[in-house]
Structure 1
Amino acid sequence: MTLETKRLLNLIVLALVGAIVGWLVFWQRGTTEVKEEQKQAEQKLLSIIDTRAVVRLTLTTPQTEFVVEKEGEQWTLTTPLRLRADNATIEGLIAHVSGLERQRLVGEENGGQVEPPQELWMFALEPPRFRVKLEERGGAAHELLVGKKSGFDGSVYVKRADTPAVAMVDGAITYQVDKDLFQLRDKRLVDFAEEDIVRVQVSLASGAGYTIERTDIGFFLRAPQSLPANEAQVSGILTALASAKATKFLTEAANPEDMTRYGLDVPTASITVVDEANKSTTVLLRTVDVKDSRSHYAMCEGETSPILELGTDWLLKKIVVDVATLRDRRVLRFNRDLVSAITVSHGEAELAFARSWNKDKSRDSWQLLRPENIPVEDAILTGLIYRLWSLEGRDVNDAPAPEDFTTAGLDVPDTTIAIQGADGATIGTFLFSQKSQVSENNRFVTTDAKAQIATVDGSVISELSLSPDDYRVEEQ
């Protein structure tokens, strides 16, 4: 046998040994994982594979019994009262109980088996402190009895209703099942999705108020004036309303006497929201001074509505605002993503930019078209669009007379910036005066619609270069 043949055989043997070792390692790992999965399955108390299949929960506590049923995506308390349940609390309870794993079995070991104890009362399992029953779609039911805590490590004694075995589980189970009606119910003042709201109407005890409507281009004030509304302010109002929660339920179904007792017959404020389906919900708010403190009460208008106590007056503060706060003070409202062209004019100088998009809309690219055709830095144009989009007036004249434009120097503007949409149509044109007489840092501005004159920060113009070189893409 030649030396080369011996070397070849050695290599083949080494390769075979390596393959066998690799297979053994893989087999051992797979076997270990299977054993671990089997061990976890054996330790799991309830055989619930998917908690989404659970459609009914019965929780029996020392005080009462609660029944909660799933209706669509919403959990509803049906016993002792029919109320909207707190989805997060119910789903958290179901997930915790479904995933319970025993830490150890309780009883005397005999021949490798643990004999369950007969004196269940010693572990507060007969009768149990708590009883949890989960019912799945299709009829399968799982019932767990929860007893007392161990004095040694805080773990809790539990038992399935259909087996004699008693097990110890993590003590967190007590927190999950020791619930009262307040903890299980939905504590929100009103249930709605902010994106569904198309109209907001607020009435104040002072006689003031306002109405806001959603349009295709955003929210607009409709009363007491017709003006664009500040999107952040409107969103803040709706967020405050959607997140308002009870710290206490004072009545379950308010009657006129209850409303008078808590001052809701003469509310401090009311807010009505209307959704796309024309469903209207009115919330009444009242703040009452009680000795050295203030109490804040709320309810939804209707015969079956409970009266809630709120923890703070945050909601009231969000809705009690004036028109000056609610209005959108931006000079021109537009969608930044739809701007496809910008033309800047100052005297004889003119810069014309055009935007193009990749097919997947993942990135836009800007090009200077006039006075020369060159690629430009995208970030500079993106920054200019943002500054124009966010440009707010400090002092706004909403009803300017023709002579006001002359006084402001807007009859012959110093600088104009026109922006166009993706379809080539003009979105709007900003007309800037020279420096304001009030301050050299300010300028007057209007748009081609000439609906108002505003005083704005003039840096948007003073920092705007008219030299193509300042926009040119730098050579790498």
Structure 2
Amino acid sequence: MRTSTVVMLGLMAMGPWACSRDADKPAAPPKLFATGAEEPRRGAPPAPAPVFTHLTVKARGATTELERTPEGWRLLSPVEAKADAYVMEALLKQLSSAKFKATVNASPSEADLKKYGLTSPTFTVTARAWLPDANGEGAEDPSRQRTVTLVGGDENPFDGSVYVRREGDAAVYAADGAVRYALDKGPFELRDKAFLGQLDLASLQSMEVTAKNNAYVLMREPDGMSWRVEKPTQTRANAPMLKGTLMRLAEQQALSFPQDTAATREALGLDTPVVDARFVAVSGEPIRIRMAQVTRDGEPVVHVLREQGTRSTLAQVEARTLTLLDVDIQELRDRRVLVFQRDAVRRLEFHPGGQAAPVVVTRGAGNSDAWQVEGPGGGRALPFRMVKVLAQLEGLRTARFVEAKVERWEPYGITAASQRVVLRDADGRELARLWVGNAVPGMAQIRYARGSGPDLVMVYLSQLANIPTRAADFLEPPPADPDGGAPAP
């Protein structure tokens, strides 16, 4: 009892001292972007982050103005361009959540500011934002508007932190090195390097390309999905290949953005480009892309000029960009042997060749997966077998184009007696037809063939090996005789 009394008296005596110790503790370092809002109590949901609307970044000897738009952040000056989404994400994250590590000097002198590199700052960022209320609103409320200017100086070599000062606050703070990395950005770092914009095949109507080795014109078909080559010859175009080519082109990153002037264009050879391409969109102004190459210090240097209406962008890119559109007719051509919509097929006729009767397989009405083999020895066809056959026919690809617009097919073994497959729709209209001809001389594993197009092509024998020729190829085999066919006793 005596001991408890002593302890209680001691705690009562220490109370004022302990309170004074807590009062003497320095306050936690403030956030970079001070909003004046109270910190939420422990356990309470976090306060909504400020919504930044405008930034002025002075760094790397230039001033960059940026603004948030419904489509994302954009540079307003020194050029008008889309901002780099990843760079902006890192910058805004530091502004909205980073805190100073410590207070370095609460009342610095001019000599101190010079020592910290703050009389001639490395970077200055002025950020404007608004604070959402509990409902996420308040963008137009003047009382919720905030503007903060941060000035960054030298790096502390001891721990990599950076000296920072805030406008209206005399103190010098230390901020983590990540703050400097995110905020110390010039126009090039802040700008989106993928400058060519979206070149989506689905949004284009035509393409005309003149390159070093090849020139071609492509047009969208009336169905809105397929493409055709108009020049140098008329044929179906390889749409997946075109889509991939445009994606690779649009993904090219600028290595630099030279000033776009008439003198610069002439010096870089863009008045006589190596590649000159024109893309006509379904809607909107056409896009023209020119590429040229010069030699510097014995190395090729490639520049691309993108023009659309009154807007233009000049950029240096990797040398390989020069070859992306320089593709020949063999790459441009559709390599599918047969072109048809699988769901439209309701009847297949498999002609084994010679005078043999065809094997006919028909599909039930609607979207039924029930297939029936017609004729003697027929019956219900195995659904998985039909799926496999249609996939095989749809997947046939040309090994090589031989001749366009053939006048005489007989020398290649393509006649009325050839092995062939005919695909028809519900009304009996022909959707596609495959003719299989002779073996290519000196190439036993390759056959001449004729498909949906007018060209003579070559097809690997392995692609044709499993095309059915008998009704039994579609049917489930009969069950084995349990007694092995032994005579009855």
TM-score (norm 2): 0.72
Asked whether the 8 Å contact 2:349–2:358 carries over to 1, the reply is: no
Q: How many residues align?
A: 412
Residue 444 of structure 1 aligns with which residue?
Answer: 448
Residue 101 of structure 1 aligns with which residue?
Answer: 98
Residue 292 of structure 1 aligns with which residue?
Answer: 298
Change (3 A) 1:163 1:222: same
User: Alpha-carbon deviation of 1:296?
Assistant: 1.4
User: Alpha-carbon deviation of 1:411?
Assistant: 1.9
Q: Please, which of 200, 203, 207 is the counterpart of residue 207 of structure 2?
A: 200
Q: Please, which of 235, 242, 247 is the counterpart of residue 243 of structure 2?
A: 235
Residue 436 of structure 2 aligns with which residue?
Answer: 432
Residue 48 of structure 2 aligns with which residue?
Answer: 49
Q: Please, which of 313, 326, 334 is the counterpart of residue 332 of structure 2?
A: 326
Higher RCO structure, 1 or 2 (CA under 8 Å, sep 6+): 2
SS at match of 1:212: strand
Asked whether the 8 Å contact 1:237–1:318 carries over to 2, the reply is: yes
Residue 405 of structure 1 aligns with which residue?
Answer: 409
Q: 1:430-454 CA distances to partner (integer Å, 9 max, x unpaired)?
A: 122354555432222224x672222
Root-mean-square deviation (CA, aligned residues, Å) is 3.7
Name the aligned partner's letter for residue 103 of structure 2: V
Name the aligned partner's letter for residue 61 of structure 1: A
Residue 177 of structure 1 aligns with which residue?
Answer: 183
Tell me if 1:385 matches 2:391.
Answer: yes
User: Alpha-carbon deviation of 1:456?
Assistant: 1.3
Residue 359 of structure 2 aligns with which residue?
Answer: 350
**Greater helix fraction, Structure 1 or Structure 2:** 1
Asked whether the 8 Å contact 1:341–1:421 carries over to 2, the reply is: yes
User: Alpha-carbon deviation of 1:471?
Assistant: 4.9
Residue 66 of structure 1 aligns with which residue?
Answer: 64
Tell me if 1:415 matches 2:419.
Answer: yes
Tell me the distance in 1 between the aligned counterparts of 2:124 and 2:427: 65
Tell me the distance in 1 between the aligned counterparts of 2:364 and 2:293: 54
Name the aligned partner's letter for residue 354 of structure 1: R
Tell me the distance in 1 between the aligned counterparts of 2:249 and 2:373: 49
SS at match of 1:248: coil
Change (3 A) 1:42 1:307: closer
Change (3 A) 1:158 1:49: farther
User: Alpha-carbon deviation of 1:212?
Assistant: 0.8
Change (3 A) 1:411 1:473: closer
Residue 466 of structure 2 aligns with which residue?
Answer: 463
- State the 4+ residue runs in structure 1 displaced beyond 6 angstroms: 355-358
Q: Please, which of 222, 230, 233 is the counterpart of residue 222 of structure 1?
A: 230
Asked whether the 8 Å contact 2:151–2:164 carries over to 1, the reply is: yes
SS at match of 1:385: helix
User: Alpha-carbon deviation of 1:329?
Assistant: 2.9
Tell me the distance in 2 between the aligned counterparts of 1:158 and 1:386: 67
Change (3 A) 1:280 1:421: farther
User: Alpha-carbon deviation of 1:310?
Assistant: 2.0
Tell me the distance in 1 between the aligned counterparts of 2:167 and 2:305: 42
Q: Please, which of 106, 124, 128 is the counterpart of residue 131 of structure 1?
A: 124
Change (3 A) 1:464 1:152: same
Asked whether the 8 Å contact 1:413–1:433 carries over to 2, the reply is: no
User: Alpha-carbon deviation of 1:243?
Assistant: 2.2
Asked whether the 8 Å contact 2:195–2:313 carries over to 1, the reply is: no
SS at match of 1:249: coil
| Percentage of identical aligned residues | 20
SS at match of 1:82: coil
Residue 401 of structure 2 aligns with which residue?
Answer: 395
Change (3 A) 1:135 1:470: farther
Of the two, which has the highest radius of gyration? 2
Tell me the distance in 1 between the aligned counterparts of 2:153 and 2:476: 73
Change (3 A) 1:295 1:353: same
Change (3 A) 1:369 1:117: farther
Asked whether the 8 Å contact 1:202–1:319 carries over to 2, the reply is: yes
Residue 315 of structure 2 aligns with which residue?
Answer: 308
User: Alpha-carbon deviation of 1:228?
Assistant: 1.0
SS at match of 2:334: coil
TM-score (norm 1): 0.73
Asked whether the 8 Å contact 1:189–1:298 carries over to 2, the reply is: no
User: Alpha-carbon deviation of 1:295?
Assistant: 1.9
Change (3 A) 1:204 1:71: same
Q: 1:94-146 CA distances to partner (integer Å, 9 max, x unpaired)?
A: 43224433374436xxxxxxxx7222736555675433233235362342444
Residue 153 of structure 1 aligns with which residue?
Answer: 159
Name the aligned partner's letter for residue 247 of structure 1: L
Q: Please, which of 77, 85, 88 is the counterpart of residue 88 of structure 1?
A: 85
